[in-house]
Amino acid sequence: MNETYPIHNSLKDADGIGQKRQRVTRRRSFLHGIGVAGATLMARNLAADSPTKLSSGDVAILKFLAAAEIIESDLWTQYSELGGVEGGNPAYMAALQNLDADMSQYISDNTDDELSHAAFLNAYLVSKGEQPVSLDQFRNLPSSQATGAQQKGRLTNLMKLDVDTSFYTRYRSDANPDFGATFPQAVNIRNQPAIPLNDTDTPPQMDQPIPPETKTAKRMQAIANSASFHFGFIEQGGSSLYPTLALQVSNVEVLKILLSIGGVEIDHFGLWHDKMGNAVSQPLAGVTDPETGTTFPDLNDPANQVNGAELSQTNLILPEPCRFLVPDVPCSIIRPMSTANSGAVATINAFIADNLFLYQSGAFIELLMQMANAADSAKRNV
Ligand SMILES: [Fe+2]
Ligand SMILES: [Fe+2]
């Protein structure tokens, strides 16, 4: 299905020149056709090729990753309903497109990727005679009341987030968290919505000029800017989680799954790392949320730099070489990559600190922690 939508009149092109462009947007069709029947068929095909029974450690890792992907799918679906190519909130989409004209396409595609990861991991577990993971009983959190959001139970909260933005300075630093280094926040994002809450707070049909002029337009731009940093936060977590757990996998096919999906998490992170820079550089920088006070300063301005230009400059999105295995020979790598900093338990703790599970039940956290502990305990056995 091909679809186009009118570009908002405030939209600037990716270079910020102000030239208006018509973007062609397309929703990928893979997941429209994949339901339970598709997943079962895929599981049967996989089973025919590989009847090997997996070790308990490999099963624990795959089950935890299936749970993590279901969680990612839930949050990305909320972003996509409001801001994807079939998104239903024009002002949110316009604010996102102030960051990059292709934001809606990237949001839809990232969402489809997560749905495919979750469906594949569960189908693979079934093909090996294991139970698939379901978190359906915990889909009880409220939906946004803003135009575009479907009204159904959610697993994750995106309406009051504390976003840890230290990944921004970590990847610009030559220090490695696995050797004890810590990193300052790039932007302070606390109690902040990353999706519009309702149509009174942020009217869905308003203009989103650069810079935003009205209180509601500033609020919406701050919400979209926060989303861009949250996208990066989520995907840098996946970028570290997969290689960390890959070191504990025994079966080479399971290793292939972790390396293949993990590579796409890194691809996502690289993309969002670039886009979020547009929230903290000209011409958009300087937006403050009138409700929460969250501010997106110009990080290229020497007055706003976090510990100097190296940790702030918005286009330094590729990983700075840092300390790795051989002392005094820095290497450009994904980091962290240790059970303590980026294993399964660390990932759930990061989600909790993010407020992603605000309003979730104790039973939900307990189940995730059990799965996370089992995954972190897996031992490589070849
Ligand atoms: Fe994923
Ligand atoms: Fe992801």
Distance (Å) from CA 65 to ligand 2 centroid: 11
Q: How far is the CA of 228 from the centre of ligand 2 (A)?
A: 14
CA 114 to ligand 2 centroid distance, Å: 6
| β 189-192/161-163 pair status | antiparallel
> What's the predicted TM-score (pTM) here?
0.90
Q: Of 242, 300, 232, nearest to 270 (Cα)?
A: 232
CA atoms lying within 13 Å on the CB side of residue 92 = 33
Ligand 1 mean position to 65 CA, how many Å? 8
- Of 305, 311, 335, the closest CA to residue 322 belongs to 335
According to DSSP, the residues that pair with 322 across neighbouring strands are 331
**Mind listing the pLDDT tens digit of every residue in the chain (382 residues)?**
333 333 333 333 443 333 334 455 565 544 544 554 455 556 565 555 555 799 999 999 999 999 999 999 999 999 999 999 998 999 999 999 999 999 999 999 999 999 999 999 999 999 999 999 999 999 999 999 999 999 999 999 999 999 999 999 999 999 999 999 999 999 999 999 999 999 999 999 999 999 999 999 999 999 999 999 999 999 999 999 999 999 999 999 999 999 999 999 999 999 999 999 999 999 999 999 999 999 999 999 999 988 878 899 999 999 999 999 998 999 999 999 999 999 999 999 999 999 999 999 999 999 999 999 999 999 998 7
Closest residue by Cα to residue 112 from 31, 37, 188: 31
Distance 357 CA to ligand 1 centre (A): 18
In this structure, which ligand is nearest to the CA of 266? 2
H or E element that contains 215: helix 215-246
